[in-house]
Structure 1
Amino acid sequence: MPRFRAPKERSAEPLPGFKLAHPMISVDGTSGGFSGVSLGRTRAYRVIADAECAQGASHRSPARWCDCGFYCLHAIADARALTCDPDYRYAVLLEIVASGRYIRYERGLRYERQRVTKVRVGRCGCGQQAQLLADMGEGLVGWRRLLPVCTSCAGRRRIVSFEAFSRLLAGTPVVADEPGIVPDAELADTDEATLVPLLTAEVALLQARLDAVQRELARLTEPRKN
């Protein structure tokens, strides 16, 4: 009997997607890249890369009988949701375009080739928005892993600014990504707008209490009539 083979899908246009990865810097400090957070964590790849089989096989990726290939999600909300998982906590969010052969799954794609178009950096381990990338001192052969940190937690580690990392990625934008968090400037404006009427009410209350104390003091100190 002839074997049934599912058709290989291919798009005429690159397909956008979102994924998580660990930022990496080459040992000589001249190049930036990424490593996967699950199957691809043993290899580093650059801004433009072709998928290779994670098992070391020589077949072309992605293969239907193997789990190799790059993976991405269709929705940025799904990618952000993964960052709450401890295994993905220190990863950055990549915006990519996928091309070549691909295989659809429920929420995304497994595909052959990708180009990273933007890097979104989330929170530091302390919970604040990360502002720098710090050298963790470990990684893969030829590559060191970078950790998103705020300025307070950077300490004395070697640091790479977002702008410098962008240059190492051939100009790919590297930006802060913290939806749902009100910026400090907005918080300051909100606090000031709320604080003025609150202080006014407190002063009025204190004045009323002072008036009551003065009346009671006058009653107690006024001369008694015989």
Structure 2
Amino acid sequence: MRLRLPEERPTESPTGYKIAHPVLSRDGTRAGFTGVSLGGALPYGVVADASCVYGLRHAAPHRRCDCGFHCVHDRSVAEDLLCTAEHRTAVVLEVWVLGRYIRFERGFRYARQRVRTATVGPCVCGATAVALADAGWGRPGWYGLAPSCAGCLRGRTSVSLASFARLAGDGLRVVAEAGTDRRAASDVPERSTPGRPKGGLAEPGLPTPMPPDLGVPELVAEAALLQARLDWLQAQLARLGRRRGGEAGQG
């Protein structure tokens, strides 16, 4: 006797939560995510279809396989995963579960998804993130990104949250989780200027060419990033001025 799973036909797409790492293409024209476990080597977009990571020809998700996208029912369960060391820089995704799915006690395994919202955590220093910056790792053709405040960019390739949402497309919303108060301006490390990676990505801290189709929310986010950089530069100039004044007094 062949066992069959009970069928569900919801009137609305179920909502789930998961964590993932944001990624940016080498040429800076596309943005997406990569998973933290099974299938993590394959970046995906806002709207994506699952396939069997073992190369089998069955449709995902298969009842006797682990393939398919995975998510949990409760947001708090997904947020708990951010406590592990390797997931500290991941973001929380709110997704619509589309197509065929298998329901489990804690979540879904499913065939197709749409990422609705990506919540970016604070910078490693604790301040609210204003950008996603090169995290020092990646996949072939993709840079891994991590949340960063303006003071911690330090010459790394970066993209503002609004620009990431625009590059990802399909109506993605990217929001920043509130962090702690920013460090004193005198404690912000000086910016280094390593060579830029190939592919046309703009150096952070400098104005980047704005496409003509940006809306008001995107422009506001870009202005906030530039203002944060300007505040940091003014603090550095003030610090240098105090240092020179002290040296002149000692002479």
Report the TM range for the smaller structure's normalisation: 0.7 to 0.9
CA distance in 1, matches of 2:174, 2:24: 14
CA distance in 2, matches of 1:10, 1:69: 19
Aligned to 1:47: 46
- Identity score, percent: 49
CA distance in 1, matches of 2:27, 2:57: 30
Q: Write out per-residue CA displacement over residues 171-202 of structure 1, whole angstroms, 9 at most, x where no aligned residue.
A: 41111024xx6778xxxxxxxxxxxxxxxxxx
**Alpha-carbon shift at residue 126 of structure 1 (Å):** 2.6
Q: TM-score, normalised by structure 2?
A: 0.67
RMSD: 1.9
Higher strand proportion, which one?
1
Aligned to 2:141: 142
Aligned residue type for 2:177:
D
Aligned residue type for 1:35:
T
Structure 2: runs of 5 or more not aligned: 183-251
CA distance in 1, matches of 2:180, 2:40: 33
Partner of 1:46, secondary structure, is coil
Distance change (3 Å), C-alpha of 1:182 and 1:134: closer
Question: Could you tell me whether the CA contact under 8 Å between 2:35 and 2:43 is conserved in 1?
Answer: yes
Structure 1: runs of 5 or more not aligned: 185-226
Structure possessing the higher radius of gyration over alpha carbons: 1
CA distance in 2, matches of 1:159, 1:25: 9
Aligned to 1:172: 172
For these two proteins, the number of residue pairs brought into alignment is 181
**Alpha-carbon shift at residue 8 of structure 1 (Å):** 5.3
Partner of 2:166, secondary structure, is helix
Aligned residue type for 2:27:
D
- Runs of 4+ residues deviating >4 angstroms: 7-10, 181-184
Partner of 2:162, secondary structure, is helix
CA distance in 1, matches of 2:88, 2:50: 24
Q: TM-score, normalised by structure 1?
A: 0.74
CA distance in 2, matches of 1:89, 1:104: 27
Aligned residue type for 2:160:
S
Aligned residue type for 2:80:
A
